[in-house]
Amino acid sequence: MIGNEGARVVVIGEALMDVVHRTSGDVDEAPGGSPANVALTLGRLGRTPTLVTRLGDDDRGRRIRRWLEHSGVSAAVVDARRTSTAIAHLDAQGAARYEFDLDWDLDDCASSVVATADLVHVGSVAAVLDPGASRVAGLVRAAREHATITFDPNIRPALIDDPETVRARVAELVALADVVKASDDDLSWLHPGRDIHDVAREWQALGPVLVVVTLGADGAVAVTADSRIRIPAVRSTVVDTVGAGDTFMGALIDGLAAHGGAGAAVRRPGHGIRPEALEEILRRAAQAAAITVSRPGADPPRLAELTALVA
């Protein structure tokens, strides 16, 4: 399959400032937000993604802009009254519990950016939080005519007041997407009491070419119409898990685009990713995530760093 190194990738969603409280008592501030971290990963892996997001004209917003630009991410910014924050409290294992102060919506500028995309990624808070969530869904519907759609629900229970509405929105986006990545925690919240492998198969039957479920220390499993691939986790010393799933998502998108997975043609019969190529893509994404968890904060690897480890 012919690669697509020049694919135009657009990521839609929140960029914010992570305020991380560590068990040592230290408090760090660093740019983050799930879609922003995905865009950052893509930029560091050599892509030139555009992030459609919302930021305030304040010190935090300016810092986030510089952070994105330094990794090759172009930001299409909707002005906000303030830059959003996520307060993360880490436990002894490095896992994070979040509290959010968010301002999320979009304006008409997003449509023109998405209109030229070969691949559009959406997810997390931006996909379910009003008033912006309905605009995100509308952009996805329009983009399907010409672009691959990728989706990561990345559920944040602390933000959710109406679980059934969120579950319905996630189901709608799953059906519109070509590639879905979710964690086992996401599926446990969205479908409590269900076997996550059964849910993954049901999601794939709704329309996606590929559904990937990350399983933490147990690796990841990928489901397509005619295959199921399981990969192990990559051994790593965990400092914290902030940004690990977003790094996996960004590396997954990068790998899919490199194997011709950008553009609406991906959903045509015979145009999917071959199983052997998919396993390679998944292993590379797991390696990228392992690098991120080995250092503090959402700090995905650069291309040379990842290439040296997977060569």
179-183 and 210-214 beta bridge pairing = parallel
50-56 and 74-80 beta bridge pairing = parallel
Task: Answer yes or no: are the C-beta atoms of 174 and 151 closer than 8 Å.
Answer: yes
**CA 52 – CA 137 distance, rounded (Å):** 14
- Which pTM was predicted? 0.93
Q: Which residue has the higher pLDDT, 269 or 257?
A: 257
Encoded tokens for 32:
């983050």
**CA 213 – CA 219 distance, rounded (Å):** 9
Would the pLDDT of 159 be above 90? no
**CA 158 – CA 125 distance, rounded (Å):** 11
Segments making up each domain of the chain, as ranges: 9-310
Question: What's the full length of the chain, in residues?
Answer: 311
Would the pLDDT of 2 be above 80? no
CATH class, domain 9-310, is alpha beta
**CA 164 – CA 181 distance, rounded (Å):** 20
Encoded tokens for 206:
């709704």
Encoded tokens for 64:
């986030």
40-91 tens-digit pLDDT: 999 999 999 999 999 999 999 999 999 999 999 999 999 999 999 988 788 8
**CA 165 – CA 261 distance, rounded (Å):** 31
